[in-house]
Chain A
Amino acid sequence: MPKKLLLKHLEVPGIQSLDVYRQQGGYENLKKALSMVPDAITEEVKKSGLRGRGGAGFPTGMKWSFLAKPPGVPRYLVCNADESEPGTFKDRYLMQRIPHLLLEGMIISSFALGANTSYIYIRGELMYVYHILQKAIDECYAAGLLGKNIMGSDYSLHLHVHCGAGAYICGEETALIESLEGKRGNPRIKPPFPAVKGLWGCPTVVNNVETIAAVVPIIEMGGDAYAAIGVGKSTGTKLISASGHINKPGVYEIELGVPVEEFIYSDEYCGGVRNGNKLKAVVAGGSSVPILPGDLILKTTKGEPRLMTYESLADGGFQSGTMLGSGGFIVMDETASIVKNLWNFTRFYHHESCGQCSPCREGTGWMEKILHKILDGHGEMKDIDLLWDIQSKIEGKTICPLGDAAAWPVASAIRHFRYEFEELIKSGGKVNRPAYATHAG
Chain B
Amino acid sequence: MNVKKEIAFSPEALALVHKLLSRYPDGKQKSALLPILHLAQTEFDGWLSPEVMDYVACLLNIQPVEVYEVASFYSMFNLKPVGKCLIEVCRTGPCWLMGAEDVVKYIEKKLGIKDGQTTPDGMFTLKTVECLASCGTAPMMQIGETYHENLTPEKIDDILGNYEMLNERVTHWDKKHIKA
Interface residues of A, Cβ cutoff 8 Å to B:
74, 83-89, 91-92, 117, 123-128, 131, 158, 160, 162-168, 179-185, 200, 241-245, 249-251, 283, 287, 328, 330, 332, 336, 341, 344-345, 348, 351-352, 435-439
Contact = CB atoms under 8 A, between A and B. Distances in A.
A166 B94 contact: no
Contact of B93 (A124, A167, A242, A341): A341
B37 interface: yes
A123 B38 contact: no
Contact of B129 (A166, A180, A249, A436): A166
B175 interface: no
B136 interface: yes
Contacts, number: 163
B4 interface: no
Given A84-B130, A88-B135, A124-B172, A166 B97 contact: no
Contact of A166 (B76, B92, B136): B76
Interface in B48-76: 66, 69-70, 73-76
B59 to A, nearest CB: 12
A53 to B, nearest CB: 14
B172 A125 contact: yes
Interface residues of B, number: 50
Contacts of B153: 439
Interface stretch (B7-15, B25-33, B108-116, B159-167): B25-33
Interface of B: 23, 25, 28, 30-35, 37-38, 66, 69-70, 73-77, 91-94, 96-102, 129-138, 142, 145-147, 152-153, 172-174, 177
Given A200-B25, A436-B97, A181 B30 contact: yes
A437 B139 CA distance: 11
Summarize A's interface: helix, strand, loop or mixed. Answer: mixed
Given A200-B25, A243-B94, A436-B96, A89 B136 contact: yes
Contacts of B28: 181, 200
B97 A164 contact: no
A127 B96 contact: no
Given A74-B25, A243-B94, 8 more contacts: A88-B133, A92-B134, A124-B74, A128-B147, A165-B77, A251-B136, A332-B97, A345-B92
A279 B129 CA distance: 28
Contacts of A166: 74-77, 129
The 7 closest A-B pairs by CB, nearest first: A165-B74, A166-B75, A182-B33, A166-B76, A182-B30, A243-B135, A249-B136
22 contacts: A83-B133, A86-B93, A87-B135, A88-B131, A88-B135, A89-B134, A127-B145, A127-B173, A165-B34, A182-B34, A182-B70, A183-B70, A185-B73, A243-B94, A243-B98, A244-B98, A332-B97, A345-B92, A348-B130, A348-B131, A436-B98, A439-B152
A242 B98 CA distance: 13
